[in-house]
Amino acid sequence: MASSIAQSTTTVAKKKNKKRSQWAEVWRRLKKNKMAMVGLGILTILILAAFFAPLIANYDEVVIKQDLVNKLKGPSAEHILGTDEFGRDIFARMIWGARVSLRVGILAVGISIIIGGTLGAIAGFYGGKLDTVIMRIMDIFLAIPSILLAIAIVSALGPSLTNLMIAIGISSVPSYARIVRASVLSIRDQEFIEAARAIGANDFRIIAKHIIPNALAPVIVQGTLGVAGAILSTAGLSFIGLGIQPPAPEWGAMLSTGRAYLRYAWHVTTFPGIAIMITILALNLVGDGLRDALDPRLKQ
């Protein structure tokens, strides 16, 4: 009795150590990718700035309060990135705008992964007519450009932060459904799945405990790149007036309102544009690095 308990304890410990070693190996590979670490560093700075935005700039007094006396001022010691057409500090608005962009990007991708991953896992695991029905519905969604689908959803629901996240999330569901389905198809017939069935595990447990954890690698990579796409879509929708509504700060909306002053107040659009570019670049660098680090065929 004692020996069987000790053996089971040892087995559990080995499994935990194996999981830790796998993620430690992924981190080791990622650290060797210099460009991925640069992207990760940029993202870390951006996340910290967004998290501590209330300590950096007061929302009511600096971010949305108008000061027409100082409107369209260039970069200076008082306003390091200048002011906009209403005299509001551009640096403070960009910091608070980062909170909006990151929130929309992460939550929208979360919606896509939950819905798309569930549909893809069900379609890949059960196959047959259910797989055909789900995938044909996904094909219909894929036939519509994602940005047009997001515009249609926001137009129907009305422009708001919540509706923006829903629109961007739903428009990306087919991509995650196909990725998860492909991963499930390559996993469902392996020996450990047959072993789980043999000991009486039900379908839900097999999918949740065995298939999804082994299908996470491509989803993580696509999710990282998806956040970049979601931020870009947020900026695009805000640019055309379907995203975050004034006076709330958002990078795309800042570009839209500042384009009228581009000739004599270049800073109003330049700095938000640079922020979007750097954020998207950093996310893509991290996504590429994760793709290489999570691929067991690449030995680094």
Which DSSP letter does residue 143 get?
Answer: T
Res. 18 pLDDT band, cuts 50 70 90: low
Question: For the whole prediction, is pTM greater than 0.85?
Answer: no
Q: What is the pLDDT at residue 297?
A: 56
Q: What is the pLDDT at residue 13?
A: 46
Asked if residue 237 has pLDDT above 50, the reply is yes
251: burial class by Cβ within 10 Å (0-12, 13-18, 19+)?
buried
Q: Which residue has the tokens 């922020």?
A: 275
Q: Which residue has the tokens 């491509």?
A: 218
Please give the domain boundaries of the chain with CATH numbers for all domains. 46-64+76-294 (1.10.3720.10)
Q: Which residue has the tokens 């190996």?
A: 25
CA–CA separation, 290 and 165 (whole Å) = 25
CA atoms within 13 A on the CB side of 164: 27
Q: What is the pLDDT of residues 94-141, one digit of tens each?
A: 999 999 889 989 999 999 999 998 999 899 888 889 999 999 999 998
Asked if residue 46 has pLDDT above 60, the reply is yes
Average pLDDT over the chain, rounded to an integer:
84
Asked if residue 192 has pLDDT above 90, the reply is no
- The backbone torsions φ and ψ at residue 83, rounded to the nearest 5 degrees and listed phi first, read -125, 160
Top-ranked range on mean pLDDT: pick from 156-165, 204-213, 288-297: 156-165
